[in-house]
């Protein structure tokens, strides 16, 4: 690949990522944020996965069709996530409000790590595998346990993006959702491949 071919490929992908972010924000607000967050994010990860696997499908059509198809199911996961996050927020509030509960801080932090790790994997697992509701949550949780390095990479990514967007806040509407999903999906696909290779190696060994 020549320099100009590489530059053209990079520029084309960058434009797609920017366009995807606008699509995500539009459908996010179309669902009044609360009801649009999960369906729009599922659609975003679906298209990002296509980009990473070099699957040629129309971006806008795929995004809209996925948003419609996954609206109800996606909001089912959203309700579950909102309830869990609310419980976590109450737990931390109680711990910091009452000194007698400070002993629960470390266990709560560990639980928080597992929950956020599961949320990190939820969308990649959702669009990469065809699983039922509870099996999907279980699988995302298992990937958190077996691939903690991926969770740390995702956490580091958020810290880096937070720093960059503080320096360049104008980039937020261009990249915030699509860039985050791109790298989260990239890290997750690598974790999926490692697990598949281990399973294959185990099958061959037996």
How far is 91 from 88, CA to CA, in rounded Å? 5
Tell me: the pLDDT tens digits for 60-116? 999 999 999 999 999 999 999 999 999 999 988 988 888 888 888 888 999 999 999
- pLDDT for residue 99: 80
Task: Flag the least confident range among 52-66, 144-158, 165-179.
Answer: 165-179
pLDDT at 201: 61
Confidence category of residue 166, pLDDT binned at 50, 70, 90: confident
Question: CB atoms < 10 A from the CB of 18, how many?
Answer: 16
pLDDT at 24 over 60: yes
Poorest-pLDDT segment among 20-24, 61-65, 109-113, 202-206? 202-206
d(C-alpha 158, C-alpha 153), whole Å: 9
Residue 41, burial from CB neighbour count under 10 angstroms (0-12, 13-18, 19+): buried
Q: Is 3's pLDDT higher than 60?
A: yes
* pLDDT tens digits for range 133-150: 889 999 999 999 988 899
Percent of the chain with pLDDT over 70: 93
Q: For residue 194, how many other CB atoms are within 10 A of its CB?
A: 14
142 to 42, 84, 115, 124, 198: CA distances (angstroms)? 20, 18, 11, 13, 15
Report whether pLDDT(32) > 90: no
pLDDT of residue 23: 95
Range in 46-55, 117-126, 191-200 the model is least confident about: 191-200
């Amino acid at each position: 690949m020549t320099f100009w071919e590489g530059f053209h490929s990079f520029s084309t992908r960058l434009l797609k990522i920017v366009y995807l972010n606008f699509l995500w924000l539009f459908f996010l607000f179309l669902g009044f944020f609360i009801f649009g967050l999960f369906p729009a994010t599922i659609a975003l990860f679906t298209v990002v996965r296509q980009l990473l696997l070099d699957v040629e499908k129309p971006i806008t059509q795929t995004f809209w069709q996925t948003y419609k198809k996954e609206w109800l199911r996606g909001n089912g996961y959203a309700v579950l996530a909102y309830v869990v996050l609310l419980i976590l927020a109450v737990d931390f509030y109680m711990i910091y409000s009452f000194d007698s509960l400070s002993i629960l801080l470390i266990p709560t932090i560990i639980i928080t790590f597992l929950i956020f790790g599961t949320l990190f994997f939820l969308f990649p697992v959702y669009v990469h595998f065809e699983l039922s509701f509870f099996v999907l949550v279980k699988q995302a949780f298992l990937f958190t346990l077996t691939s903690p390095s991926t969770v740390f990479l995702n956490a580091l990514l958020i810290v880096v993006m937070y720093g960059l967007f503080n320096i360049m806040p104008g980039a937020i509407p261009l990249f915030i959702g699509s860039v985050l999903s791109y790298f989260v999906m990239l890290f997750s696909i690598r974790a999926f491949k490692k697990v598949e290779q281990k399973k294959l190696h185990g099958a061959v060994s037996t």
